[in-house]
């Protein structure tokens, strides 16, 4: 791979979302990795600089290490399309849909893909009604946020009001979701169309089953199992399901899908798909890629090489 062909590369990091801190960690890791491979890579924070500077300063492609809104939701992708600059990860429509957990679920359900039952709610009263319908435990979360920010696992009716207020503080669109008790796993995908391939499944074992923001990024107490140790055939079935979910949303480049496996039935349920996954020291795509022999630096190069535009 001739890295000089990439030209001047911007690593987009930081941004304005609630995941800014994690994005800066991801972007710093990617930047160092690309530079170590000889890529002419530079940090670029869209919250501090106008995106138009990318064109004026001669950037030839972008590695998107932004997470959450204003980075993972199709907005930056659309701007880069207008600027004519290729970028990593899915395009405008796939990014926008995947960021919206409700829209993602509606599409998956229409395609016959399993996802937990849910209700969209607009008030604490509707959240209590959802609790009566979905049962305990129930997850309350913002529709367009990531990294479990604003998420609450509700086990009593009395918790519903505070859970709704927390989620609504992050996004006016709030959803309640049936909780699936069982193994929590995640599966990355690399590539586009028929060339897309699922990487090894990672099983996540968090302290007290609480895989929250702190346990995701800032502690070493969470265990990540690769190989995942699932019963024979389950890993392959989950990989096939995740690939179908990825292609259904017309993703390209890379993404990572989160899945819960019902402990009683062993049925997998798709939770969501992340179109700009983390690239920190605790992140899961690098961990899964490493299990196939692809180290962090080469993973970053592979992703950069996949940079594209919807309308190229």
pLDDT tens column, 90-132: 999 999 999 999 999 999 999 999 999 999 999 999 999 999 9
Q: Kindly state whether residues 248 and 165 are assigned to the same domain.
A: no
* Among 278, 283, 296, 306, the one annotated catalytic: 278
Query: Do both 160 and 198 map to the same domain?
Result: no
pTM: 0.93
164 and 245 together in one domain: no
Q: Looking at residue 38, what is its pLDDT?
A: 97
Model confidence at 232: pLDDT above 90: no
Instruction: Provide the domain count of the chain.
Output: 3
**Stretch among 27-36, 47-56, 89-98, 217-226 having the lowest mean pLDDT:** 217-226
- Residues contacting 73, CB < 8 A, separation 6+: 95, 96, 99, 100, 144
- Whether residue 157 is found in the same domain as residue 104: no
Residue 53 structure tokens: 């500077």
Q: Is 72 a catalytic residue?
A: no
Distance, CA of 215 to CA of 93 (rounded, Å): 31
Same structural domain, 108 and 186: yes
Same structural domain for residues 122 and 171? Answer: yes
The residue with greater pLDDT, 220 or 13, is 13
The question of whether 217 is a catalytic residue gets the answer yes
Is 258 an active-site residue? Answer: yes
Annotated catalytic residue 48: no
The domain in which residue 62 lies consists of 3-88
Look at residue 141 and tell me if it is in a domain: yes
Q: What is the mean pLDDT of residues 152-178?
A: 96
Q: Which of 129, 154, 178 is the last residue of a domain?
A: 178
The residue annotated as part of the active site, out of 26, 147, 276, 288, is 147
266 is catalytic: no
Tens digits of per-residue pLDDT, 260-274? Answer: 999 999 999 999 999
pLDDT of residue 210: 61
Among residues 17, 26, 95, 274, which one is catalytic?
A: 274
Shared domain check, 156 and 132: yes
Tokens for 16?
Answer: 């304005």
* Backbone dihedral angles phi then psi of residue 152, each to the nearest 5 degrees: -135, 135
Please check whether residues 231 and 295 belong to one and the same domain: yes
Is residue 75 included in any domain, yes or no? yes
**Residue 312 lies inside a defined structural domain of this protein:** no
Query: Which residue in the block uniquely carries the two structure tokens 């501090």?
Result: 48
**CATH code, 193:** 3.30.470.20
> What stretches of 59-165 adopt beta strand conformation (E)?
61-64, 118-121, 138-142, 152-154
Using the predicted structure, report yes or no on whether residue 212 has a pLDDT greater than 60.
Answer: no
| Residues 31 and 74 reside in one and the same domain | yes
Asked if 143 and 171 sit in the same domain, the reply is yes
**104 falls within a domain:** yes
Whether residues 111 and 37 fall in one domain: no
Are 172 and 184 members of one domain? Answer: no
Adjacent-strand bridge partners of 152: 140
CATH of the domain at 26: 3.40.50.20
């Amino acid at each position: 791979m001739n890295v000089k062909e990439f030209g001047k590369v911007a690593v987009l990091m930081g941004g304005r979302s609630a995941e800014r801190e994690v994005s800066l960690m991801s972007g710093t890791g990617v930047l160092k990795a690309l530079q170590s491979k000889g890529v002419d890579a530079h940090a670029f924070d869209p919250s501090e600089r106008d995106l138009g500077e990318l064109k004026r300063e001669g950037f030839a492609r972008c590695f998107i290490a932004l997470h959450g809104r204003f980075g993972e939701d199709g907005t930056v992708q659309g701007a880069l399309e207008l600027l004519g600059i290729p970028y990593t990860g899915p395009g405008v429509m796939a990014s926008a849909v995947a960021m919206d957990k409700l829209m993602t679920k509606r599409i998956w359900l229409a395609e016959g893909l399993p996802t937990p039952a849910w209700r969209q709610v607009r008030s604490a009263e509707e959240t209590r009604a959802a609790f009566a319908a979905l049962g305990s435990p129930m997850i309350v979360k913002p529709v367009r946020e990531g990294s479990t920010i604003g998420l609450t696992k509700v086990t009593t009716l009395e918790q519903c009001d505070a859970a709704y207020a927390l989620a609504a503080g992050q996004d006016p669109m709030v959803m309640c979701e049936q909780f699936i008790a069982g193994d929590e796993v995640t599966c990355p995908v690399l590539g586009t169309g028929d060339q897309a391939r699922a990487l090894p499944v990672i099983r996540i074992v968090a302290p007290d089953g609480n895989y929250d923001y702190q346990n995701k990024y800032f502690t070493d107490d969470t265990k990540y199992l690769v190989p995942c140790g699932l019963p024979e055939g389950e890993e392959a079935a989950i990989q096939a399901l995740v690939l179908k979910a990825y292609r259904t949303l017309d993703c390209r480049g890379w993404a990572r899908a989160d899945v819960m496996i019902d402990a009683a039935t062993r049925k997998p349920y798709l939770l969501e798909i992340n179109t700009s996954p983390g690239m920190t020291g605790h992140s899961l795509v690098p961990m899964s890629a490493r299990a196939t022999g692809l180290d962090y630096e080469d993973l970053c190069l592979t992703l950069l090489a996949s940079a594209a535009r919807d309308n190229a």
